[in-house]
Amino acid sequence: MLEDVIGSDAFGKGLKLIYSRYKYEQAGWDELQKCFEDASGRKLDKFFGGWLAENYIAEFDVDKAGYKAVMDGYETSFTIKNHYENLNYPLEIVVRTDKGDTVSTQYIDTKDKEIVIKTKERPSELVIDPQYKTARMLDRTEVYPAFYGLWGKYPKAVFVSAKNKTKYESVLKMINNAEVYSDDVNPYQYNDKILIFLDRDNAAYKKYYGVNAPVIRSDFEMISSLHPLYTDRMTYIIHTSDAETAEKNIARASHYGKYSSLSLENGRLMPKLAESWQGNRFILYDDRQGERVQSAINIKTIIDENPYAKVFYVGESHTSYAHHENQLEFIRRLNEAGKKVAVGLEMVQKPFQQALDDYVAGKISEKEMLIRTEYYDRWKFDFRMYMPIFRYAKENGIPLVALNTPQEITKKVSAGGIKSLDAEDLKQIPDSIEYTDGAYRENLTTIFSMHPMGKDFENFYEAQLLWDETMADSADKYMKANPDRLMVIIAGNGHIRYRSSIPERLFRRNLLNYVAVCQDEENRPGIADYVLYPAESEYDASPMLGVGLDDKDGKLKVVEVSDKSAAQVGGVLKDDILTGFNGVQLKDLATLKLELLYAEKGREYDMKVLRGDKTENLKIKF
């Protein structure tokens, strides 16, 4: 532990100092401490004082373990709640991802130690002290059942029926410090002892566990289990076919104290060892989140089960970061499996394809791509949720494909139907539009009744048809021009569920095998091929000013300022006109959102506002 505190170099120097200063002399703890302090340049009073003065070892709880996404990866955070404040110690922490482990040694020197560890990939597991370098109390999951307790010091209660007692005489002779009871007694009254059940038909075992003993098929078998109440002891069941077999094998079995089960058949020994947790472990992200007839599966399984699929539809709720993480997981796994992937995007409209191409090719920056696609005018959701997908595509040369209808056309159809489009507009919509009734129309009727969009349902219906048909048509044209690529289409769940939106419309065009995946949808028959239920996932959202804005005529007028918001603290007032942020002229809300996208928490930014006829220079800190 001391080596972990001061480092291997300083520890080695300290040993050399002890040797050089006290060769052929006595040295006490004070002298050793002084040598290591001189070698490391650190005061070690707390470390030596705690471990020499106290009669306990390290014990702690792990509180609030979780992770969140940040701009360039993930942060795993948790608190070590130290039981004994006077006892300081190093603790090796491992954050596990499917790309490898990030290892950090933390010095626990306070009652509550908050720890944050950053990784590039999404963390799946947190492991505390996997190599057991710290002298500490073990968590129950780290103790595996083994036979050493049979021969150990603790008092034991042995349960055996009268008819089987003779058969197990040699076993009873081997077990010391034991009281023998009939198997018809209640074993719960002996819970403070190690419990030993003799024979697979043991009635006390069934009373204790509520089930029959495990199926035992060999001549001689021993199985250990963790005691239900005590972490430092076990329970055991021993079975033999006859007294001779028991006598021949029980002495031999005493040499296998570290094993959890032994099985002998015709004298052949087949030992087995149960695995411990190897460190105090916490699952941060479990990718077994899907359902297939009530069977939990992960994304890798979905991909492996569909080797011939050419299209993967992965649905989303636009504001769920966990859904976007899963979309990236599909893209990443397919790409790493050697598939040539393209990503179809609902959130980018067809006229802006060149901007996506230039971005992936490295010709323009991410910010320029967002400006040219008019992202914050046309989609509006925080780009930080989609940022990992876009960046992974760029890093790996994966084409991004704009699928959606220009909003100018969608607005026209919502107001006056397809018949209202002029000749130029008609050139931008698919040649083939299939009017679908049934569940598709019923679903749209429900949505329209809850959120009326215009006065005419038929116009709304045609606008949604056009939206889905255009995305299917865009994907079809790309795939025909690039037949070697499969496509991952990311879109709202509503465009995927029951397959009647995009999936069947693209299938009508290309007849290619596809997989439909929805997320956090009720698992009704036919809703999709798979439904994923990911755990909620935090992410580092773009900072917010905390104002309500009226975006008209090239002016951003403040109509409301939230209490204790960054804007209020910075001095923004109602009726101010926001004119500049971080040196950028603010001409509309999209420009402001783009600047906030790259703003960092903890930093201070210049903001200009027009107050009456006077410009005020303010400081905004998130």
SS3 438: helix
* Same-domain check for residues 170 and 129: no
By percentage, how much of the chain surpasses pLDDT 70? 96
User: Residues 35, 167: one domain?
Assistant: no
Is 435 found in the same domain as 340? yes
Q: Is the pLDDT confidence value at 394 over 90? A: yes
Spatial CB neighbours of 243, under 8 Å, sequence gap ≥ 6:
166, 167, 168, 169, 170
The last residue of a domain, from among 127, 142, 157: 142
Is the pLDDT score of 327 beyond 90? yes
With a cut of 80, say whether residue 528 has pLDDT above it. yes
558 and 528, same structural domain? no
Q: Is residue 388 domain-shared with residue 514, that is, in the same domain? A: yes
Provide the edge-to-edge strand list for the sheet that holds 530-532. 295-297, 290-292, 530-532, 514-519, 311-316, 486-492, 341-349, 400-404
Q: Summarize pLDDT for 562-607 with one digit per residue, the tens.
A: 999 999 999 999 999 999 999 999 999 999 999 999 999 999 999 9
* Residue 384 within any structural domain of the chain: yes
Give the residue-averaged pLDDT of 60-71. Answer: 93
Examine the fold and report which residue of 53, 80, 95 is the final residue of a domain before the chain moves on.
53
* pLDDT higher than 80, residue 210: no
User: Alpha helices of 401-501 — where are they, by DSSP H?
Assistant: 407-416, 423-426, 438-450, 457-481
Mean pLDDT computed over 309-324: 97
Q: Is 417 within a domain?
A: yes
Which of 539, 557, 589 represents a domain boundary (last residue)? 539
Q: What's residue 85's pLDDT?
A: 87
Residue 277 lies in a domain: no
Phi-psi category of residue 407: left, alpha or beta, with phi > 0 → left and psi -120 to 50 → alpha: alpha
Q: Half-sphere exposure of residue 183, counting CA atoms within 13 Å on the CB side?
A: 21
CA nearest neighbour of 118 among 78, 80, 79, 76:
76
**Average pLDDT, integer, range 139-143:** 76
Domain membership of residue 281 (yes or no) is no
Q: Are residues 175 and 32 in the same domain?
A: no
Mean pLDDT value of segment 20-27? 95
| Inside any domain, residue 239 | yes
pLDDT at 215: 74
Q: Is residue 97 over pLDDT 70?
A: yes
Same domain for 108 and 211, yes or no, is no
Kindly report the three-state secondary structure assignment for every residue of 47-112. HHHHHHHCCCCECEEEEEEEEEEECCEEEEEEEEEECCCCCCEEEEEEEEECCEEEEEEEEECCCE
Structural domain range at position 100? 60-142
As a whole number, mean pLDDT of residues 162-181 equals 94
pLDDT on residue 441: 84
Question: Cα 265 from chain centroid?
Answer: 45
Do residue 254 and residue 119 come from a single domain? no
> Predicted confidence band at 350 (pLDDT cuts at 50, 70, 90)?
very high
Tokens representing residue 173 in the block? 């002779």
Q: Where are the beta strands (DSSP E) in 129-171?
A: 156-160
Q: Are residues 262 and 156 in the same domain?
A: yes
Residue 341 counted as domain residue: yes
322 with 412, same domain? yes
Same-domain check for residues 138 and 151? no
Report whether pLDDT(10) > 90. Answer: yes
CA proximity to 516, closest of 311, 303, 298: 311
Are 19 and 90 part of one and the same domain? no
Q: Share the mean pLDDT of the chain.
A: 91
Percent over 90 (pLDDT), the chain: 74
Q: Strand pairing of 280-283 and 290-292?
A: unpaired
Extract the tokens encoding 211.
Answer: 């089930």
Q: Determine the pLDDT at residue 270.
A: 64
Q: What is the pLDDT of residues 231-281, one digit of tens each?
A: 667 899 999 999 999 998 888 888 888 888 888 877 666 656 555 567 888
Burial group, residue 485, by CB count within 10 angstroms (0-12, 13-18, 19+): middle
Q: Is residue 206 part of a domain?
A: yes
Structural domains of the chain, count? 5
Out of 245-249, 285-289, 616-620, pick the least confident.
Answer: 285-289
- pLDDT at residue 454, as a whole number: 57
CB 355 within 8 A of CB 372: yes
Q: Check which CATH number belongs to the domain holding 586 and give it.
A: 2.30.42.10
Q: Is residue 242 part of a domain?
A: yes
Q: Which residue has the higher pLDDT, 176 or 22?
A: 22
